Structure 1
Amino acid sequence: MPGPVKFKRTEREQGGAWELSFADMMTLILCFFILMVTVSEVNREQYEVVAESLGEAMGTKAPEPEAPMIPAEWRQRLKSMEDVRHEITARTRHASDALSLEMRPNAVAVNLRGAVFFELGSAELTPTALEILADIAPPLMGIPYRMTVEGHTDNIPIKSSAFPSNWELSAARASAVARYFIDHGFPRDHVQVMGLADTRPKRPNMDIHGNAIAENQAQNRRIVILVEPME
C-alpha cells in the first residue's frame, strides 16, 4: 500500500510571494510620495529625510525635486538687481524726497516715506503715493521677481476702531501697497506682506533720556518693498 503523498514546497513558496508583496507595497508608497511632491510645495529638509528613509527601505535613491521652471520669455527679460535699481531711480527722480533705494544681497530695497504715502492713522494710499507707485511698477512687471512688502511704524501707540495697535496699521499699509501691484498685474503668488509695527526701527525712536526724537520717528514710519529674483 502506497504511503501518504508528500508535497515539497518550492523555493518560491517558502518566501518569494511575501517578498514580492512587500516590494509591491514599497513601490506604491514611493509612487505616492513622488505624487505628493509633484503637486505640493516642497519642504527641502522634510523631502530629504523622507527620501532617505524610503531609499534605505527600497535599496534605491529617490529622485531629487526639480526646481520650478521659469518661462523662457521671462528669462530673457530678467534684469540684474543693479539694473532694476537704476531703472526705478531714473523713473522716480521727481520724487526723490519720498523714497530711497538701497542694494541688498541679490535684492533691491525701495524705502517709501510713510508721511508721503499715508495720512496720519490711515492705510489709504494718497494721490501722490499712487503716482509714485505707477512709476515703480513697470520695471517689475512680466518678470520673475519675488516681492516682500514690509509695513513699519514709529513707537507712538495707536488705538482706533480700525487699528487696535500698530501691528494692524503696519499690516494694512503694507497690504495696500501690495494690492496696488497685484491689481496692476504683478503675480499675487509672488507677493508676501509683513506688518512689523515698531519692531525694526531704522533710527532710535527715543534718546538716552527717554525723549522722543521726532525726526527719527518720521523716518521709521515707512514701507519697504524688497524685490529679488525668483530662485
Structure 2
Amino acid sequence: MGSILGGNNKKGENIPKRYEFKSSPVEVHDDGEGNWLVSYADMMTLLWGFFVIITIFSTPDASKFEKLKEHTSQAMGGTYQRPLNELTEELEQVFAEMNINQDIRIENLIDGIKLTASSTRFFASGDASLSTESKSILENIGKIFQDRAQGYKIIIEGHTDDVPINTKEFPSNWELSLRRSSEVVRLFENMGIPHADLRPVGLSDIEPMKEISGLSGDKLRDARAQNRRIVIRIQKQIKAIKAPVKTEKI
C-alpha cells in the first residue's frame, strides 16, 4: 500500500507513472459582475451615511413637517389626519370656557382620545332624548371634530345604569344605550361630519364606571348617574389595501 499511495517506497524505488497523482489548476471565470456589485454597495453605504449625518445635524420644524404631510396626502388623493394632541388641547380649552371640565373627562390613550360625559347633563333616567344643554356641548365638540378630526374614526358609546327597562320603545337597556349613542351620531352627521367616520355602539350596563354593590341612598343614585353616560372615542382609521385580482383568460 505504501508503494501505491506514496511517491517513493521505503527502498527509494520510483513509482510507475501510471500511479502518480497530478493536480490540475482551477480555472476562475470573471464575467465582471462582482466588481459593479461591490461598487454599488459602497455607493449605497456612503449615501446612507450622508443622510444619517444630515438628519443628526438638522433641526426639523414640526409645523412645516405637518404641512408637508397634509399637501402630500391631498396630492395622493387621501385624507390628512392632524395630530391628536392638537385636538386634545382645543377640546380642553373649549371645556374650560364652557365650565364643564368636571363633567367631561379627556383621556389620551395609546389608540386615540377618549371623552367621557356623565348623564347628568345629557340624558334623564330611562330617556334617550338630548337635553338643550347637552346639544350645545355636543355642537361645540362637533365643530372641533370638523376641523381637527377629519379622517379619524369617531366611536360613540351609549351606557346605561343597572336599572332594568321594559317599554315599547326600549324593551331593554340594550336598545336604550344604542338609542342614546345614535342620537349623538345623528347630531354630528347633521353638522356635516362624514357618515363613514361615525360608529354608534350600545353597551347597556355591562361596563359600569362606578361599582354599586353595597351602596344605598344618595351614593347609589350618584353612582348610577355616572354609569349613565356617553363615551366618545377618536381613533385612527386603518384602511386595508386590496390587492388586484388577476383573471386568467380562458
Q: TM-score, normalised by structure 1?
A: 0.63
1:88 matched to 2:91: yes
CA displacement, residues 118-154 of structure 1 (integer Å, 9 cap, x when unaligned): 1222111100011101111122115111111100011
2:189 is equivalent to residue 182 of structure 1: yes
Residue 119 in 1 paired to residue 124 in 2? yes
* Conserved? CA contact 1:151–1:196, under 8 Å: yes
- Number of positions where the alignment pairs a residue of Structure 1 with one of Structure 2: 161
1: CA distance between counterparts of 2:226 and 2:159?
10
Q: CA deviation at 1:87?
A: 0.7
Amino acid at match of 2:142: A
For structure 1, the 5+ residue unaligned runs are 1-68
Distance in 2, matches of 1:208 and 1:140, equals: 38
Deviates more, 1:99-108 or 1:200-209: 200-209
Q: Answer yes or no: is the 8 Å Cα contact 1:146–1:190 preserved in 2.
A: yes
The alignment's C-alpha RMSD in Å is: 2.4
Cα offsets for 1:197-230 (capped at 9, x unmatched): 0001112122289xx8332211111000101122
SS of the residue corresponding to residue 115 of structure 1 reads: coil
Taking the aligned partners of 1:117 and 1:150, their CA distance within structure 2 comes to 13
1:1-231 equivalences under 5 Å are: 71-72=74-75, 78-93=81-96, 94=98, 95-141=100-146, 143-207=150-214, 213-231=220-238
- Deviation of the 1:70 alpha carbon: 5.6
Query: 1:227 is paired with a residue of what secondary structure?
Result: strand
Aligned CA distance change for structure 1 residues 205 and 130 (closer, same or farther; 3 Å): same
Match for residue 40 of structure 2?
none
2:233 partner letter = L
Partner of 1:56: none
Identity %: 29
Which portions of structure 1, spanning 4 or more consecutive aligned residues, are displaced by more than 6 angstroms? none
The one-letter code sitting in structure 2 at the alignment partner of 1:149 is: I
Partner SS for 1:137:
helix
CA separation in 2, counterparts of 1:70 and 1:207?
54
Between the aligned partners of 1:219 and 1:119, the Cα distance in structure 2 is 12
Amino acid at match of 1:218: A
Q: 2: distance between equivalents of 1:118 and 1:202?
A: 16
Deviation at 1:75, TM superposition (A): 5.0
